[in-house]
Structure 1
Amino acid sequence: MTHAEIVFHGGPVFTADTVRSRASAVAVSGGRIVAVGGEEVRDLIGPHTEVVDLSGRLLVPGFQDAHVHPVSGGLELLRCDLADGATEAEYLDLIAAYARSHPPTEEDGSEWVLGGGWAMSAFPGGTPTAAALDRVLPDRPAFLPNRDGHGAWVNSAALRRAGIDRDTPDPADGRIERDGDGTPTGTLHEGAMSLVNRLIPDPTPEFLREALLAGQRYLHAYGITAWQDAIIGDYSDLVDQGETYRRAAIDGSLTGRVVGALWWDRGSGLEQIPSLVERRERYSHGRFQATSVKVMQDGVAENFTAAMLEPYHDGHGHPTDNSGISFVDPEVLREAVPRLDALGFQVHFHAIGDRAVRECLDAVAEAIARNGRGDNRHHIAHIQVVHPDDVPRFRELGVAANMQSLWATLEPQMVELTLPFLGAPRDAWQYPFGDLLRAGAVLAAGSDWSVSSPNPLAAIHTAVNRQAAPGYEEGDYEPFLPDQAIDLGTSLVAYTAGSAWVNHLERETGTIEVGKYADLAVLDRDPFAGPADEIGTARVLETFVDGARVYAAG
């Protein structure tokens, strides 16, 4: 008898297969799962077998994040990380401490203070000011994107360097926040960020590699073994990370399985398609495949750039003349998506507003009309506001719903900066996971880290309860649209098999089945055995890729 290299036993195993079967033991050899079952698996234990006693803890397939930014997240970890702050005073203290410990040099642009991760809800109207930032950074320029990456806080030194003043026009895809006389106040929305970040020196290849590996370690600590990097290209303060991934795949330091979504430059048109084809061929190697294209169709609701079918309200229930921005002209989109589809690209859409969601679905419908139904597995991420008429179209068109479940809750940003400006009935159309499930859509899941935590268990908790997980609360709120909740098993499958399907990895990963890679995570408890309001208290103890341990708590 050939003995296994690793045997997990003594606890429940959530296989995530089509019938969600349960087992109590798993054996691994040569990086693959060789047995799934019960006590009989123990027969594969030999003198050199590593035995992992689950002791009642749950073994799950490695989580797969279908929309995440590990390089930019890693850069924030290495730079001025504001994720632990919650108020303006706390952010300013963090920024001041960082500036003291990182004196200005020319290397890697560290004359600049870079980082980010502040919450819009910490500031009136979601817009911090240069005047506040000047108190701790009077001379060094600063560029600090917020948590969602759709706006940036800059100081007066950065505005001066960029030549931004009251006479500077807003770019077509963004907005400069201004006071009553038109003077910029220190917040740049969407495409206006490029007015400053184009001045920031590119990080060195060595620093980008360090950021990728820092992000990878962080994801592994949450049980994440595969992901789709949602921007491989020149956006915000990043350079194209494709070469960083390629080198990591070649030298073996990339332990996750990654699909890269090549950035669709919304300032260009169809002429960029040959470049996307060339970059797909050049970057793809081993664990990294650059086979998706990211189209950011709109912005976010909090700064009124999410594209809506009807105008935003003014906070008093009256319609305005603003219905958001479609960053890619819908006519261009309906031409671009069929061409990308015909070339074998998956299209990874960002769509927050109901108009953006519809424009993306219409573009996929056009691709099907021209090319027939293929297997590119297009998906729409975020899906915050979805018109009820468009819910069944996800299944009809074969478009996966890429959920960022952690956001489907009431918190200050939703209560203060979103709900008053959406108004009825569309305030009740948000994050319709339950309706999408009932309509038969494929559900995948991701975090959008560093916009929000990459913790899958916190996101799963929110999907099930429609309330924030313990430790993630930002106030005492009722469940948010509880009829859109989904069950624990469905949410776990979305975060494993669903995302594996989106990444074309379902034949090798995503479930615990014989023959698949041993990409696994050990939780500290079985969430199915406890109350639903404790799901988010579960933690990852160990993470394995190809049967090799890539994370162990402590």
Structure 2
Amino acid sequence: MIRQTKLLPRHSFLTLTLSSLLLVGSITFGALPAQAKDLIIHNARIVTMEDHLQTSYQAMSVVDGRIEKLGSDAEILALKKKKTKVIDCHGKLVLPGLHDSHTHLAEGALEMTQLRLNDCRNLAELIEKTKDYIKTHAELKEIVGHGIALPAVAEAPLTCTDLDKLSNKPILLYSEDGHSLWVNSKILNRIDKNQLQEKIKEKLAGTLADGSASGNLQEEAMELAESFIKGPSRRHFAAVLKQAVENANSLGITSIQDAHVRDNVLRAYYDLARRKDLNLRVEAALATRPDMDAGDLLKLQAKSYNYTCGNLRARSAKIFLDGVIETGTAALIKPYDDNQENLGRTNLDQLKLNRLVLELVSRHFQVHIHAIGEGAVRMALDSFEPLSEISKSEDLRNMIAHLELVDEHELPRFHKLGVIANIQPYWAFRDPYVTKLTVPKLGQLRTERIYPFASLSSSGARLAAGSDWTVSTMNPFKAMQVAMTRQAVDETPQAPLNPKEALTLEEILSAYTTGGAYANHLDKVCGTLSPGKYADFIVLDQDITKLPPNQIGQTKVLETYLEGKRVFPLDSK
């Protein structure tokens, strides 16, 4: 899913300001090139996550970027050598570095330099902000914006007529969930008329009262317009990505899976990795298409091989299976309440999905599937089932992301098939997306079943957690609070959303540490603070293991280390 806003607490976002390994097959996740000095941290409460929250130590020694030993202050300080750097943590909590298992870090970095519309509450505000942006950015040849909240345009829709009044430059504005966009006539008139009419028939392109295209495109219809936007230079993309990496580090994140990596995104990561500026472990889930042939798959393999470098690995492949509930494009088992003829849609039928998954698995790709509705979740599991033995023997660790609705009969299949449940915990509360858009689509009873995190966990599913940034906040501590309370973080909380699906701190912290490391094939080198593993760890300003759940979202990261090297805050040069 590619959603976020100051208006809607689900989508509070981290503002970015620009200032001008494990062997899997034959691929190695490289170590940081600049090796850290030997290090001792002491006077700390170090929770290792080896047995969840049960074991803690006072001190830890690090040699050549790897953990040497954990123990008491006296034991570890006795290991100090002449050049060992010693850090007093003043009693603070130390945890393993956190893993964001589903994010769009590179694309999000670029979005933050463009028009942001997340705080617009209605059509009038949206038009006014776009108008002001065009006026103050007269040098731009094209206008690209992000973050339109679907509730903001639910009653008064945005059309190309509105955008045509603002500029004759190409204008393309995305919804905050990334599943819809709006364009002006400058772009609309460039689209092949036959292709556009086909998408209108498929209800993936909106129309005006006279039947002509409105400029609103959804799902794969968006590709008809995106090709007319030039996009950033390679150098600019790498520069904004570097800033996003630093912001991820500031939130305690040391590893990610970027969940939809196209060629320009892959090049940006590669440029940082080969310059030794990628202070994150990155698994790139390469973008796929429903119609990929043998030549396309060969190119995908070549990209995986050619771009794996340093902390960048590209052995995952992303499939968008369905859409989103709010627009009626998520694939359900029973019809939508507001349209008894609509079961949603999928981008591939079962046969094509099975074939694509088979081709990817046979090429040793981990498969990462977007599935929102329970119909899509069932299809994804069905595609994995005949390949479960080979997936396990090849240690591929396939996953399904989002999982807004999961039929109760499908829950045990995650454990049985070894499929990771990749959840986005920050979505699980009653925001306007739920109250204004989801309830009318699903009805109250089905809405009370969304985001079944506890049911997945109790059925034996392995959980990994991700932000889907910029769809929602990148801050993992806010997401942990929502996972435990099923309520908003920054507002007066409403009634919890299906509170029986709340997770414990142990469950959600495991999803961000051991679960995320497993999802990224990093569990042998990080995810816990254990001797021999990389010294990827964070120091927090408060002990979240001793806080009530509704205070965890206030947590700040004081320091972040990757292989014993401090990456937040960065040392001044």
Q: Same fold (TM over 0.5)?
A: yes
Whole-Å Cα distance in 2 between the matches of residues 523 and 165 of structure 1?
Answer: 56
Task: Tell me whether 162-171 or 479-488 shows the greater mean CA deviation.
Answer: 162-171
1:32 partnered with 2:66: yes
Q: Which shows bigger deviation, 207-216 or 59-68? A: 207-216
- Give aligned-pair identity as a percent: 35
Could you tell me whether the CA contact under 8 Å between 2:318 and 2:367 is conserved in 1? yes
- Residues in 1 aligned to 2:421 and 2:394: alpha-carbon distance in whole angstroms: 17
Residues 92, 544 of structure 1: CA spacing in aligned structure 2 closer, same or farther, 3 A cutoff?
farther
Which piece of structure 1 moves more, 354-363 or 91-100?
A: 91-100
After superposition, the C-alpha distances for 1:159-204 in whole angstroms (9 at most, x for unaligned) are 3444779973316876112233323334321122122111111422
Deviations 1:276-323 (A, max 9, x none): 222211211221111011011011111111111121111xxxx42111
Q: Single out whichever of 364-373 and 292-301 deviates more from structure 2.
A: 364-373
User: What is the match of residue 313 of structure 2?
Assistant: 289
Worse overlay, 295-304 or 156-165:
156-165
- Pair 1:329-2:358 in alignment: no
Please give the alpha-carbon distance, in whole angstroms, between the structure 1 residues aligned to 2:235 and 2:202: 32
Greater Cα shift, 382-391 or 542-551: 542-551
Contact 1:229 1:259 in 2 (8 A): yes
**1:80 positional shift:** 1.8
Paired position in structure 1 for 2:254: 225
Residue number among 23, 44, 49 corresponding to 1:11 in the alignment: 44
Aligned residue identity for 1:230: A
The match for 2:106 is 71
1:389 aligns with 2:412: no
Where does structure 1 lack aligned partners over 5 or more consecutive residues? Answer: 105-109, 234-238
1:116 matched residue in structure 2? 146
Structure 2 partner of 1:313:
337
Shift in Å, 1:445: 0.6
1:339, distance to aligned residue in structure 2 (A)? 2.9
Q: Given the alignment, which residue of 543, 551, 554 partners 2:568? A: 551
Residue in 1 that maps onto 2:91: 56
For 1:203 and 1:93, how far apart are their aligned partners in 2?
25
- Which of 295, 301, 305 aligns to 1:277? It is 301
Q: Is the 8 A contact 1:540 1:553 kept in 2?
A: no
Counterpart of 1:445 in structure 2 is 465
Note the residue ranges of structure 2 that are not aligned, 5 or more in a row. 1-35
Q: Which amino acid aligns with 1:287?
A: N
Aligned to 1:236: none
Q: Give, in whole Å, the separation in 2 of the partners of 1:423 and 1:265.
A: 33
SS of the aligned residue for 2:278 comes to: coil
Q: How many residues align?
A: 534
CA RMSD of aligned residues (A): 2.6
Q: CA deviation at 1:432?
A: 0.8
Please state if 1:528 is matched with 2:545: yes
C-alpha distance in structure 2 between counterparts of 1:525 and 1:302, whole Å? 37
For 2:504 and 2:413, how far apart are their aligned partners in 1? 22
- Counting only pairs closer than 5 Å after superposition, residues 352-501 of structure 1 correspond to structure 2 as 352-368=372-388, 373-423=393-443, 425-469=445-489, 471=490, 473=491, 476-501=493-518
Task: Give the superposition deviation at 1:246.
Answer: 2.3
| Alignment of 1:338 onto 2:358 | yes
Q: Assess if the C-alpha contact under 8 Å between 2:448 and 2:497 holds in 1.
A: no
Show the 5 A alignment for 1:161-180.
161-162=190-191, 168-170=197-199, 175-180=204-209
1:126, 1:63 → 2: CA distance? 41
- Normalising by the residue count of structure 2, what TM-score does the alignment of the two structures yield? 0.87
Are 2:134 and 1:102 aligned? no
CA deviation string 1:426-471 (max 9, x = no partner)? 32331111011111110001111111111111111111111122x3
Paired residue secondary structure (1:331): helix
3-state DSSP class of the match of 1:145? Answer: strand
One-letter amino acid of the structure 1 residue matched with residue 110 of structure 2: L
Q: Residues 387 and 429 of structure 1 are in contact (CA less than 8 Å); yes or no, is this contact kept in structure 2?
A: no
Q: 1:155 to 1:218 in 2, by over 3 A?
A: farther
Alignment of 1:94-243 (within 5 A): 94-104=129-139, 110-124=140-154, 127-134=157-164, 137-162=166-191, 168-170=197-199, 175-233=204-262, 239-243=263-267
The match for 2:10 is none
2:524 is aligned with 1:507: yes
Which amino acid in structure 2 is aligned with residue 332 of structure 1? Answer: K
TM-score normalized by the length of structure 1:
0.90
Tell me which of the two structures has the higher relative contact order, counting C-alpha pairs closer than 8 angstroms and 6 or more residues apart. Answer: 2
Secondary structure, in 3 states, of the residue corresponding to 2:204? strand
Match of 1:250 among 274, 281, 285: 274
Shift of residue 143 of structure 1? 1.0
In the TM superposition, residue 523 of structure 1 has moved relative to its aligned partner by 1.5
